[in-house]
Chain A
Amino acid sequence: MDATILGAAVINGLLLGGSYALVAVGLTLIYGVLHIINFAHGSMLMLAMYGAYFLLMKAKIDPYVAIPLMVAVMFAAGYLLYRALIGRYSHGKDENILLITLGLSIVLENLALFFFKGDTQTITVAYSDRMIELGPALVPLPKLVSFVASLALCAALAWFIARTDTGRAIRAVAKERHGARLVGIDVEKIFAVSYGIGIACLGAAACLLIPSFYVSPSVGHLFVIVAFTIVVLGGMGSFVGALVGALIIGLTESLSGLFLGEALGQIGIPLIFILILLFRPTGIFNR
């Protein structure tokens, strides 16, 4: 095996992992606080990607400029979705909430199919084809931007959760919801806010992904198993775990593609998912 090819695969894998990080952090936040598995995560990402796509096509707003707007819109969407739908069912059987979010993802995906048709859409911006030399690898500029911005946003979110009052309330609810209620925290509101933040991460992720990726009604499928694998790998609800897990999964995807070939290489992710669920369901960092 040529060292340059291997080096390039490692770099590409890490970049890929970086772009998964935000998606996974959103999912793990929702799980950590609400203890629900948000199966609609992939289709919400798809929706956000269409949002970024149409902002560029119809309003000529560059995806990177659109980040604050998409974050705000997705936060509001998540908040309202929780208040209107998910919150009503989330305290019963956990299977029910999984089914509700599955139903939601079916509806969202097919609404997209109905209105936007099944075609794959890509965008071209001035920097789409700019390549940067990074050691042995030649990487597209948007992927590098996506990696750096994604990690920076994760760090910002970690700071928010660690330092602000809302963040403290979120952590309190995640640890001990009854205790949190007793000290006067509006638990339902924190649930909705957390769900909103988890979905807001997708708004940013979508804007970062779209210049180097494509969007179609079923694009969310690609991210569903990947995001679940990352979250389970890092330990459900763990922030750092999701971040490290994302990088590991990005590397796995890139390296298994290199060694096993394009078709068989995809098996790395479901395989890791199965093995982790069976043997270490608490994740690799928890004891």
Chain B
Amino acid sequence: MNWKIPAGLLAVALAYPFIFRSNFAINFGVLVLFFALIGQAWNIAGGFGGQLSFGHAVFFGTGAYCSTVLQLKLGWNPWPGLVASAGAGALVGALIAALSFRFGLKGSYFALITLAFAEAFRILANAVEFTGGGLGLLIPLKRSAVNFQFAERIGFYYTILALTVLSIGIAIWLKCSRFGARLAAIRENEDAARALGIDSYREKVKVMALSGALCALGGTFYAQYYLYIDPTLAFGVDKSVEMLLVSMIGGTGTVYGPLIGSLLLALVGEGTRAVTDAQGLSLIIYGGLLILIIGFLPNGLVDLFKLRWRRKARA
């Protein structure tokens, strides 16, 4: 295991807010890390686990609503709320996976059923009372770190950094551990994996729970950062697609793919905003990139870096 890359990246990330101090720069950093986190959560299921999902917003929204409802209706502090969210995300992930995999859904059909689950959750959040219905939930402003509402943006930055480091740590663990190896076996050839004695059903449920928990952490962070959540923001198709794009474009099944994808998407987003006010341009580029990646770089942009490193190593 090469520790130079993660150590270097971590040093850069830790120093970033001291080098770029403006609110804009910190906000940019927060967004990159946030999308890297939820992209990594998607990647753990979709890349490492090989279970393509079109509805990961179901976990994101579960996390966002879990901590926010606990805070507003039962007076919980958001920090234990964050832990509860991870639990709720894991539970929903395990339930959806248990149902889908018990009935043998895979590939495109699994992708479609996750989409339907996210849609069902969105409609539920829209219809029931305690989620605030279509109006959503507004978290009252009370600035203090104890309350997950940092007076300075830098507090949010280091919080999301910690969560993203956790997600990358889990990805590294998946690369090295027996659990990750079992997942890789299932991904490449499920029948062969089962013949080797791997309980593929159990492993797939476990990886979905893990992915759901991480995604839910992102949901709680989102709700606390913007202090507002509504059914479409939480469970909408857009979130599911964003996670998928970050991971697919960066490189599925790789440790740093989601980080690269997220950085690229944030840069493209800011770049297009500088050029035009009209909406949609950045997503046109992402969609086009997705098609190109599937066609020409099935392992994502990470491959470009690997190629360069290999060339350097040879020289």
Contacts and interface: CB of A to CB of B under 8 A. Distances in A.
A177 B103 CA distance: 29
A88 B295 contact: yes
A195 to B, nearest CB: 16
A84 to B, nearest CB: 11
Does more than half of chain B's interface fall in helix, strand or loop, or is it mixed?
Answer: helix
Interface in B109-138: 109, 111-113, 115-117, 119-120, 123-124, 126-128, 133-134
Q: Size class of A's contact patch?
A: 35 or more
B295 to A, nearest CB: 7
Contact of B123 (A85, A229, A264): A264
B278 interface: yes
A83 to B, nearest CB: 15
Interface string A89-126: 10001111011101111110111111001100000000
A98 B127 contact: no
Contact of A107 (B120, B128, B278, B291): B291
B72 interface: no
Nearest to A93: B107
Interface in A261-287: 261, 263-264, 266-267, 270-271, 273-274, 277-279, 281
Given A107-B284, A118-B279, A225-B119, 12 more contacts: A37-B112, A89-B295, A102-B241, A103-B287, A103-B291, A106-B245, A110-B284, A114-B279, A270-B116, A277-B109, A278-B103, A281-B105
A106 B111 contact: no
A239 interface: no
A39 B56 CA distance: 17
Q: Size class of B's contact patch?
A: 35 or more
A111 B108 CA distance: 26
A114 B276 CA distance: 10
A111 B288 contact: no
A228 interface: yes
Closest 9 pairs between A and B when the two form their complex, measured CB to CB: A106-B287, A113-B280, A110-B280, A103-B290, A107-B287, A264-B127, A114-B280, A263-B127, A110-B283
A85 to B, nearest CB: 7
Nearest to A107: B287
B287 A278 contact: no
Contact of B290 (A106, A110, A266, A267): A106
B109 A281 contact: yes
Contacts of A263: 123, 126-127, 133-134
A98 B52 contact: yes
Contact of A270 (B107, B120, B241): B120
A171 interface: no
Nearest to B112: A228
A277 B280 contact: no
Contact of B112 (A103, A104, A277): A277
Nearest to B292: A103
